Structure 1
Amino acid sequence: MRKAFRALFIVLFFWLSLALYFTNRLMYMKKKDEELILRREKEAGRYKPDEFETVPKQEVDIPSPFGYMIKGVLLEPHSTNRYIIISHGVTETKINSIKYANLFLERGFNAFIYDHRRHGESGGKTTSFGHYEKFDLKTIVDWMKKEKGPNLKLGIHGESMGAATMLLYAGLLEDGADFYIADCPFSDFKEQLAYLIKKDFKLLPGLLLPIGDILLRFRDKYSIQNVSPISVIENIKHPVLFIHSKKDDFILPTMTKDLFEQKKGPKMLYLAENGRHAQSFNENPADYERVIDEFLEKYVHQPLSVN
């Protein structure tokens, strides 16, 4: 009996230790070096400091409902009521959003780029893959509408975690933008984690996920099961453009296909031929821009009002 009890204790201790490590990986995921991001984007020509400095802009601090500051930059080269918010992916910063901002600046929009909680210059202690981030996004949307008035024409572009955050905001809190562009989102966090556990840990997720979820509820006050864009996608009435690379093996393109199929009303789907995770624009720039133009032409009807 004592040996059996000891064996059971060892097994439980192993799984608890593994679940603790697992939740640490989620809450405190190692971020990319910010200098590396800056150097990468400069060397690729996606961020040109001299050109960026010429764009009329202002740095913005927006108080998060969770007690820290959300740091952003409002880029306003145009006299227009059209704005786009860019929501970056996990481990990135707003520097990674500049390439998308430029894409929309060229099309007559102004843009707002910002750092998610626990990323870049923003505050916050943990990453929650869209759970807390969606409330920060709502705060930004509310700020934009207050600052720019009731006639604001607003879009949101999200990449990876930023895309999931955007869909959770629109489907769970409020469908508060006029259009959305979801680039390589996961459809369900639990399903995504199960896939990564099998792929990276070589373990069956059936036991680790429930124990990890209990620890996460205790440690960061939310459940993995609540981070599920596909469970709320039908609530989004405004147009959504879904984008994913066919070769993405981190978040599988089937997740975006599922989201597209479940979305009711206006929508488009673009599956890029080249590139892996979050590389659709980098590896297919001409096609990416073409699809953006088709989407805007189809669903953003009024003539642009620019300088």
Structure 2
Amino acid sequence: MKQKSYIGRWLGILLGTLIIIITAASCYMLSFSLSPRDNRETYVKTQLQEVVAANPEIKPWIDSLLHIHALHDTIIYKVNGERMHAYYAYAPSRTPLTALLIHGYKDSAVKMLHIAYIYARMGYNVLLPDLYGHGLSDGDHIQMGWEDRKDVLRWSAFADSLFVGTKQVLHGISMGAATVMMLSGENTPSYIRCFIEDCGYTDVWDEFRGELSNQFSLPSFPLMYTTSALCKLRYGWSFAEASALKQVAKCNKPLLFIHGTTDTYVPTRMVYPLYTGKPQPKQLALFPHSAHAMSYTDHRQKYTEIVKRFVGKYME
């Protein structure tokens, strides 16, 4: 009996220690994945320099916007009083054509200025939100597109009132692309005409599972399950429910899928089930030898032509 009691006591200690380790590891993984950048306002300036350096053709356009004070700031408020920031610019001539441009993970609105340039040259109004926990918006965590879809829907309504009677395309890159796809499955207003996603992931579970393996060489069990449960407890959503794949299956509006063929951060394989699962109308454009979020940089003319042709079908 003493030996059984001794074994039971040690098993209890071992189990308790294991629970503590897994809980601590889950807290670390959630913080590692969903904590915003420090000094975001300073980083925005760095990102602006980066996007201009990578896309020098946009510098004269940005300089002209800044010179005549045509790139405006605006704020909307969440129910809890947190501030959400965006930039916007009117088209040279009054038009209903409007592009909402949604940035990626730990980026900010200014990282979408090269895509805004495409639409500006087409005569569109543009609105570039900073997602929650990014850029100049408030927020103590990253929402991975899932809760962001609600914020973007509010920005869409704001754009419709700002530019008056709009026809809108929503165009996102990386996490912004996932945001656009997650929104596409909702009951969206008629002024949202079409969607463009560039290198978005199938769901948060699949993306984080890949990063857990690539960065930490760890299997999905148990950390994916415990971290997802912690996310649900803390923020109200789980990794599995944050699914672009499930949302595009409910989308009946046109959606253009873009992906680089050598993307390993959001693996190229993800675009195929997304495209297959989306009902018509839809289009798939693959860009050879382009890594993550590099399709435009590597293929400026082709990327621009594909975007122009796609929106031309559905925005007039």
Q: TM-score, normalised by structure 2?
A: 0.89
For residues 204 and 142 of structure 2, the distance between their equivalents in structure 1, rounded to whole angstroms, comes to: 13
Corresponding pairs, count: 300
For residues 30 and 257 of structure 1, the distance between their equivalents in structure 2, rounded to whole angstroms, comes to: 31
**Could you tell me how far 1:57 is from its partner in structure 2?**
3.7
Is 1:64 the counterpart of 2:74? The answer is no
Matched residue SS, 2:185: helix
Q: Please name the residue that 2:97 is paired with.
A: 82
**Could you tell me how far 1:30 is from its partner in structure 2?**
3.9
Q: Please name the residue that 1:152 is paired with.
A: 166
Task: Give the percent of matched residue pairs that are identical in Structure 1 and Structure 2.
Answer: 21
**Could you tell me how far 1:174 is from its partner in structure 2?**
2.6
Q: Please name the residue that 2:23 is paired with.
A: 16
Q: Residue deviations 1:218-248, cap 9 Å, x none?
A: 2222211220011121221111111011110
Q: Please name the residue that 1:126 is paired with.
A: 141
Q: Please name the residue that 1:40 is paired with.
A: 50
- Residue type at the aligned position of 1:104: Y
For residues 66 and 165 of structure 1, the distance between their equivalents in structure 2, rounded to whole angstroms, comes to: 21
Matched residue SS, 1:112: strand
Judge conservation of contact 1:26–1:128 (CA < 8 Å) in 2.
Answer: no
Unaligned runs of 5+ in 2: 1-7
Q: Residue deviations 1:165-215, cap 9 Å, x none?
A: 111112135365101110111011111111111111111112111111121
Judge conservation of contact 1:274–1:284 (CA < 8 Å) in 2.
Answer: no
**Could you tell me how far 1:109 is from its partner in structure 2?**
1.0
What are the equivalent positions in structure 2 for 1:266-285 lying under 5 Å apart? 266-285=281-300
CA change 1:175–1:252 in 2 (3 A) is farther
Of 119, 122, 126, the residue aligned with 1:104 is: 119
Q: Which moved more, 1:240-249 or 1:167-176?
A: 167-176
CA change 1:230–1:65 in 2 (3 A) is farther
Larger radius of gyration between Structure 1 and Structure 2: 2
CA RMSD, 1 decimal: 1.8
Judge conservation of contact 1:78–1:110 (CA < 8 Å) in 2.
Answer: no
**Could you tell me how far 1:125 is from its partner in structure 2?**
1.4
CA change 1:66–1:103 in 2 (3 A) is farther
Q: Please name the residue that 1:3 is paired with.
A: 10
Judge conservation of contact 2:173–2:197 (CA < 8 Å) in 1.
Answer: yes
Judge conservation of contact 1:246–1:274 (CA < 8 Å) in 2.
Answer: yes
- Residue type at the aligned position of 2:44: E
Is 1:294 the counterpart of 2:304? The answer is no
- Residue type at the aligned position of 1:220: Y
CA change 1:66–1:181 in 2 (3 A) is farther
Judge conservation of contact 2:36–2:134 (CA < 8 Å) in 1.
Answer: no
Q: Please name the residue that 1:190 is paired with.
A: 205
**Could you tell me how far 1:10 is from its partner in structure 2?**
2.1
CA change 1:8–1:218 in 2 (3 A) is same
Matched residue SS, 1:43: helix
Q: Please name the residue that 1:167 is paired with.
A: 181
- Residue type at the aligned position of 2:146: H
Judge conservation of contact 1:169–1:175 (CA < 8 Å) in 2.
Answer: no
What are the equivalent positions in structure 2 for 1:214-253 lying under 5 Å apart? 214-253=229-268
